[in-house]
Amino acid sequence: MAIAAITGGTGFLGRYVVAALYRAGFQVRMLVRQDPVHPLLADVRPELVPGDLRDEAALVRLVTGADVVIHAAGLIKARDRAGFFAVNEGGAAAVGRAMAAHAPQARLLIVSSQAATQPHLSHYAASKRAGEGAAIAAYGGDDWCVARPPAIYGPWDRETLSLFKAACGPIVPVLGGRDARLAMVQVADASDAIAALAASGGPKQQEYALCDGVAGGYDWETLLDCAARAVGRRAMRMRVPVPLLRAIGLGGSIQAALTGKPVMLTLPKTREITFPDWSVASQQMPPESLWKPRIGLEQGFADAAKWYREHRWI
């Protein structure tokens, strides 16, 4: 049985990826800082390697004997640029070095972010792009692939939960511009794509975008209409002026600097939010012979809202 070693397997997307790898026939080996017990992994019996991206010995144990190494770990918030780069670039390089020394024959699959295509927008985006290059350079082989999911949603997600809570009313803040476009992908589809790309003999030296099949993405009105139907309510909408959003982000940046604690909404993050084109090109998607999305936005939002209600998250 082929061994798939994964970092970031205890995160929202990571848990789904672990389950998808198991269904695809892999023996999964996880780098973990804590017990990964979770309902999504109830049927999976992964091999656990205690440690993190700073632990060289743990990374050696993780990759040795692996057929594919999936690097999905990373920070989505940090107190400053250095914090992002320490993990998202430095950690990726550490994985690549461990592979070069102890698993040079293994396939490297980097689970990055669509934000990496616009590294000038934020510290996060720049660190994700730098992490891709650092991992590939340190690895030194040619059997690598990059997957860049856009906005991911689905059961267990706390990031898009705020969209569904807001849709329940009374007011939904609209953060993007009127012409903004956002590609989306449901988490089960994203994890199936990653499992397909992990297979031996997969595409080499390729960078792929993922989405739900609507490569042109959605405008905010469409997203909010879909969320409203999913929760059965239509809240009043209020467009947040960009200067106000930037002021809030500046406050977040100052708070992070003063407290030393990471904040999600910072000034650089507002540049990501207000970027007008988070669509993807259809030719950037994996070949349909390898993977095709199954879950459209209407079904995905309805399923997510149902799950949130059943688990009393909304």
Omega before residue 170 within 30° of 0, cis:
yes
Instruction: Please say whether the structural domain 3-156+185-213+280-294 has been given the CATH code 3.60.15.10.
Output: no
| Cβ-count burial 29-67 (b if 16+ within 10 Å, e if not) | bbbbeeebeeebbeebebeebebebebeebbbbbbbebb
pLDDT in tens, 86-112: 999 999 999 999 999 999 999 999 999
Tell me the CB-side half-sphere exposure of residue 176, using CA atoms within 13 A.
19
Tell me what pLDDT residue 129 has: 98
Q: Degrees (nearest 5) of the Cα angle 231, 294, 20?
A: 100
Q: How many whole angstroms separate alpha carbon 208 and alpha carbon 96?
A: 19
Per-block average pLDDT, block size 10, for the chain (314 residues)? 97 97 98 90 93 97 98 94 96 98 98 97 96 98 98 96 91 85 97 97 97 95 94 90 89 88 87 93 95 97 97 95
At 193 the pLDDT is 98
Give per-residue pLDDT as tens, 2-44.
999 999 999 999 999 999 999 999 999 999 998 888 999 988 9
Question: What's the rounded Cα separation, in Å, for the pair 242 and 248?
Answer: 10
**Annotated domain spans of the chain:** 3-156+185-213+280-294
Task: Look at residue 196 in the predicted model and tell me its pLDDT.
Answer: 98
What does the chain come to in residues?
314
| Tokens, residue 147 | 């997957």
pLDDT of residue 235: 87
